[in-house]
Amino acid sequence: MIEPQILDHPKDLLLRKERIPHIWCPGCGLGSVLSALMDALRTSGLDLKNVAVVSGIGCTGRAAGYLNLDGFHTTHGRAIPYATGLKLANPDLTVIVFSGDGDLAAIGGNHLIHAARRNVDLKVICANNFNYGMTGGQGGPTTPRLARTTTTSYGNVEKPFNLVQLMAACGASYVARWTSAHPHYMKIAMGEMLKKEGFSFLEVIAPCPTNFGRRNKLRDIKLLQRYLEQAVLESQPDIAKADIELDSPILCGKFVDLERTSYLAALREAISAKVKVYDFRGDGRVPLEEAPVKPAAAKAPGKPAEVPSERPIIERPVQIKLAGLGGQGIGLCGLIIGRAAAIFDHNQAVYTQEYSPEARGGASASSIIVASGQIHAPYVTEPDIMVVMAQGAYNKYQKDVRPGSRLIIDKDLVRPKDLPDSVRIQAIPATRLAEEIGQKVVANIVILGFFTALVPHISLTAMQKALKGSIPKGTEELNLRAFETGYDYGRGGTSDRA
Amino acid sequence: MGKDVLTGTYFLTGNEACAAGALAAGCRFFAGYPITPSSEIAERMSIRLPQVGGVYIQMEDEIASMAAILGASWAGAKSMTATSGPGISLMLENIGLGVMTETPCVVVNVMRGGPSTGLPTLVGQADVMQARWGSHGDYEIIALSPSSPQEAFDYTIRAFNLAETWRVPVILLMDEVVGHMRERVVIPEKKDIKVANRRGPSEPPGKFKIFKSKKDLIPEMPVAGQGYAVHVTGLTHDERGYPAIEWEAQEKLVSRLVQKIRLNSAKIASWEETGVEGAEIVLVSYGISTRICRAVREMAREKGINLGLLRLEIIWPFPEKRVREMAGRIKAFLTVEINYGQIALEVERCAAGKCLTRLVGHGGGTVHDPKKVFQAVEEIA
């Protein structure tokens, strides 16, 4: 006797059978959409190990969990950015987003438009049933005008999204619409999407008899029947006529199918031009060959420097504040002082900056604390030394000049007033000297040289080394001359109380 | 390919050091959205990640950024995002998804003054409780608090290692000052940096249950594309990852999510004690406020007051047991933090009335004035 054999249905391989029966109602369109996707996947030739499905929340959101693939059931509205992370961290994956209209177009609407704009390589299937089915049939961004839902009892007054038009406008590579009454066309569209590079979008009009149909006099199978009757199938449908009203025709077909540079392709192209080897494998599983290190590393010294013999010992933390107008290079000055102390003198240095909302022109300050021991509080509160390069900055920070401190200024640009007698003023015509050298812009380096000559807390060697490592290539000569000019001016006797 | 560890001595901001630490830890995916005072982390990652074969993407908002790093983690990449006040508020829902689905990732919150837009460029430490329980539902998380750019580098590596080991989003709570100040940062040789990686599946696909935990309560983690057909959901799920909407499943899952951190808190919690032995008063602090407390200790020493310091390197899990022990033999805890009492509440709870507990707090915008903290010390000394 021949034993009867029970064979698997071909689609069963793609289903987590232990999760069936599914949660969807009789007459719901979602089963047909899922079934079409399984057919498309089966005939796609893809290695299904590398196919991941991401869903948001809602009835449609459950789809990811019924497929025997890598499945991610995420938060409401966020399937697309989650999928973006999956795809970019492992470009070998084919990433499908399977979710509903409320999830993708309302709460997730921002992600939808941006993913289409970027043309990220995602296959988005949006089952549109015109309402929030799982939560009880409330109205949403695709609910047709005048339709009744549990939150539009008097008929919906809002104009719904025309999703295919929206996606086309945002730059999607592929845009199509079918209804769940068209399983064959759905499957063809999905098959095309699986092969497509870039962002592809399929809207499937799917009946929700339980919630949407019941409240709009289209109970049970009548809703599906209506979609079948109202559907207008065109080979070259006009996207301008794709609005959906309660009684309007539903224009179906393929609206967009273009060769557009996908996000990944664009990224690969842009970056491979600038970086020697570029591979998107984020998991480190693929060993990659070594390419030369970018000179960025050379900006800061690669090895700890030798401790200089003239390393200044600073018992008590010394607070230094540099002030000027935005663009005068006050920040760079502070940075060089900090680097000199922290890296080349082997002392401690803390550098902070004061920000003003203006990007340029406002008075700004950078502060450095140097010490041989630990520095605790990061802010300069009682400066021992102030360097001021502009009157505007002087006016703003004059309050910080305290008795007994040292004030270093650009003699031509700052007129100090109302100071305690005990303040020691040391002045240099930094901007004028910089102009004599050839460029006003190095006035900050002139004053830095002057500072180095006067202040014992940072060694000359350290300052020179830090300077060299902090200025743009090609400007070394000019900057070194500026530094020397300031330094010599300081060594040649300074004019107190200028 | 470029080097992921640029060994050397640098003068870096905390934000730059954090990015360097991320790369050294193996981070290869960053998704973010610009926000002061954290943007320099994103800027640095956008330059550095392509050099080492990773991906940087600027998303449309912080919600998307957080979702993207979860996706990337499940694709096998170590992933990170960085943000501040308003941005971290937007990320919370997906941090909860990360907790529920045990997704390793690092979220940097460079804290600024709040609530709301608050003080975008100035310091605050008021997101400490939010880091712990900001997302809905019951969970435990790990949060670290660096106090210098060097620690920003070191702790970012620690954050990745903790995330990979315990399979939980780890929050790096960095203060605005730490993010923006520059100090010497030493980046060691690559071989001297300890890097932990998630435990992959020890069995082939088939019977393997992706959320069945081992003795240490941590499940092994297969990722997408390995053939395990992982089922990952934010719903309460069973060991297969399948939704299980019933109290028994909730009890089993949520208790494990909580216990894997709580029962292992002795292994995770990390703090530093200075001068605690014999001290009558102990300062409790973290992040930038720790440095103020060190200055206060020096002032106290000059006045002959024996002042201890308990500094939280890791804020969550909180060193409950240690604080309980200390409470029995000291006169007072003084919590120094830039808010109106968050960790102070934890200290008070653990001290359980066995010693005085006081807060020295303020609303943010600057660090504490050491003199004012010292005044508070003198008042109870």
Contact between chains at B71 and A72 (C-beta distance less than 8 A)? yes
Contact between chains at B75 and A81 (C-beta distance less than 8 A)? no
Look at residues A301, A378, A467, A468 and name the one whose alpha carbon lies nearest to residue B186.
Answer: A301
Task: Name the token pair of A304.
Answer: 């700890």
pLDDT of the residue at A44? 97
Contact between chains at A110 and B226 (C-beta distance less than 8 A)? no
- Between B72, B228, B229, which is nearest A282 by CB? B72
Using CA atoms, how far apart are residues A426 and A32, in angstroms rounded to an integer?
Answer: 84
Look at residues B161, B200, B185 and name the one whose alpha carbon lies nearest to residue B80.
Answer: B161
Using CA atoms, how far apart are residues A220 and A209, in angstroms rounded to an integer?
Answer: 5
Q: Dihedrals φ, ψ of B40, to 5°?
A: -65, -25
pLDDT of the residue at A9? 82
Distance of CA B373 to the CA centre of its chain: 26
pLDDT of the residue at B373? 98
Contact between chains at A283 and B76 (C-beta distance less than 8 A)? yes
In angstroms, the separation between the Cα of residue A21 and the nearest Cα of chain B is: 13
The label of the residue with tokens 């901007």 reads A431
Q: Which residues of B touch A356 (CB under 8 A)?
A: none
Q: Which residues of A touch B235 (CB under 8 A)?
A: 73
- A404-430 pLDDT, tens per residue? 999 999 999 999 988 888 999 999 999
Q: What is the pTM of this model?
A: 0.94
Closest Cα in chain A to B298: A376
Using CA atoms, how far apart are residues A202 and A101, in angstroms rounded to an integer?
Answer: 11
Which of A351, A368, A468 to mutate to test binding with chain B, by most B CBs within 10 Å of its CB? A351
Which of A68, A84, A293, A337 to mutate to test binding with chain B, by most B CBs within 10 Å of its CB? A84
Angle at alpha carbon of residue A52, lines to A49 and A57, rounded to 5°? 150
User: In Å, what is the CA distance from A267 to each residue of A260, A303, B34, B56?
Assistant: 13, 34, 20, 10
Q: Is the pLDDT of residue A253 over 70?
A: yes
Which of B33, B55, B230 to mutate to test binding with chain A, by most A CBs within 10 Å of its CB? B55
Q: Is the pLDDT of residue A308 over 80?
A: no
Using CA atoms, how far apart are residues A330 and A318, in angstroms rounded to an integer?
Answer: 18
Contact between chains at B294 and A379 (C-beta distance less than 8 A)? no
Q: Which residue has the higher pLDDT, A361 or A481?
A: A481
Using CA atoms, how far apart are residues A115 and A476, in angstroms rounded to an integer?
Answer: 46
Which of A22, A41, A90, A120 to mutate to test binding with chain B, by most B CBs within 10 Å of its CB? A90
pLDDT of the residue at A10? 79
pLDDT of the residue at B314? 98
Question: Which residues in chain B show pLDDT less than 70?
Answer: 1
Check: CB of residue A383 under 8 Å from CB of residue A319. Answer: yes
Look at residues B369, B363, B356, B312 and name the one whose alpha carbon lies nearest to residue B340.
Answer: B363
Q: pLDDT band for position A291 (50/70/90)?
A: very low
Check: CB of residue A44 under 8 Å from CB of residue A191. Answer: yes
Contact between chains at B71 and A70 (C-beta distance less than 8 A)? no
Q: Which residues of B touch A353 (CB under 8 A)?
A: 180
Reduced to 3 states, what is the DSSP secondary structure of residue B337?
Answer: strand
Contact between chains at A343 and B9 (C-beta distance less than 8 A)? yes
| CA atoms B174, B177, B179, B185: torsion sign | negative
pLDDT of the residue at A12? 83
Q: Is the pLDDT of residue A497 over 70?
A: no
| Cis upstream peptide for A141 (omega within 30°) | no
Closest Cα in chain B to A116: B60
Check: CB of residue A294 under 8 Å from CB of residue A437. Answer: no
The label of the residue with tokens 């999830």 reads A103
Q: What is the DSSP string of B171-188?
A: EEEEEHHHHH-EEEEEE-
Poorest-pLDDT segment among A105-109, A121-125, A218-222, A235-239? A218-222
pLDDT of the residue at A360? 62
Reduced to 3 states, what is the DSSP secondary structure of residue A70?
Answer: strand
Which of A13, A69, A73, A279 to mutate to test binding with chain B, by most B CBs within 10 Å of its CB? A73
Using CA atoms, how far apart are residues A412 and A401, in angstroms rounded to an integer?
Answer: 19
Using CA atoms, how far apart are residues B234 and B41, in angstroms rounded to an integer?
Answer: 29
Contacts of A101 (CB under 8 A, 6+ apart): A126, A127, A128, A129, A130, A140, A141, A142, A163
Q: pLDDT band for position A276 (50/70/90)?
A: low
Q: Is the pLDDT of residue A286 over 50?
A: no
Pairs of CB atoms within 8 A across A/B: 247
Q: What is the DSSP string of A414-436?
A: ----S--TT-EEEEE-HHHHHHH
Q: Is the pLDDT of residue A283 over 70?
A: no
Check: CB of residue B32 under 8 Å from CB of residue B40. Answer: no
- Provide the H-helix boundaries in A90-211: 101, 109-118, 163-170, 183-195
User: In Å, what is the CA distance from A335 to each residue of A262, A434, A479, B169, B170?
Assistant: 42, 20, 15, 35, 32
- Between B53, B64, B232, which is nearest A73 by CB? B232
Q: Is the pLDDT of residue A300 over 50?
A: no
| CA atoms B122, B123, B129, B133: torsion sign | positive
Reduced to 3 states, what is the DSSP secondary structure of residue B253?
Answer: helix
Q: Which residues of B touch A301 (CB under 8 A)?
A: 8-10
Closest Cα in chain B to A270: B50
Q: Is B381 exposed, middle or buried (0-12, 13-18, 19+ CB in 10 A)?
A: middle
Q: What is the DSSP string of A203-226?
A: EEE---IIIIIHHTT--TTHHHHH
Check: CB of residue A18 under 8 Å from CB of residue B241. Answer: no
- Provide the H-helix boundaries in A242-314: 263-272, 296-299
Q: Which residues of B touch A274 (CB under 8 A)?
A: 50
Using CA atoms, how far apart are residues B186 and A343, in angstroms rounded to an integer?
Answer: 10
Closest Cα in chain B to A337: B11
pLDDT > 90: percent of chain A: 80
Poorest-pLDDT segment among A3-17, A41-55, A371-385? A3-17
Q: Which residues of A touch B67 (CB under 8 A)?
A: 74-75, 78, 81-82, 84-85
- A149-203 pLDDT, tens per residue? 999 999 999 999 999 999 999 999 999 999 999 999 999 999 999 999 999 999 9
Strands (E), chain B: 8-13, 27-32, 55-58, 78-83, 105-113, 119-123, 142-144, 169-175, 182-187, 231-233, 271-274, 281-286, 307-312, 314-316, 332-337, 356-361
Q: Is the pLDDT of residue A275 over 90?
A: no
Q: Which residues of A touch B55 (CB under 8 A)?
A: 88-89, 267, 280, 282
pLDDT of the residue at A358? 62
- Between B1, B61, B298, which is nearest A288 by CB? B1
pLDDT of the residue at A221? 86
Pairing of β A250-257 and β A231-233: parallel
Reduced to 3 states, what is the DSSP secondary structure of residue A23?
Answer: coil
- A21-62 pLDDT, tens per residue? 999 999 999 999 999 999 999 999 999 999 999 999 999 999
Check: CB of residue A174 under 8 Å from CB of residue A121. Answer: no
- Between B29, B64, B121, which is nearest A88 by CB? B29
Q: What is the DSSP string of B306-321?
A: -EEEEEESEEES--HH
What was the ipTM of the complex prediction? Answer: 0.97
Look at residues A136, A97, A126, A116 and name the one whose alpha carbon lies nearest to residue A206.
Answer: A126
Contact between chains at A377 and B370 (C-beta distance less than 8 A)? yes
- A135-147 pLDDT, tens per residue? 999 999 999 999 9
In angstroms, the separation between the Cα of residue A253 and the nearest Cα of chain B is: 30
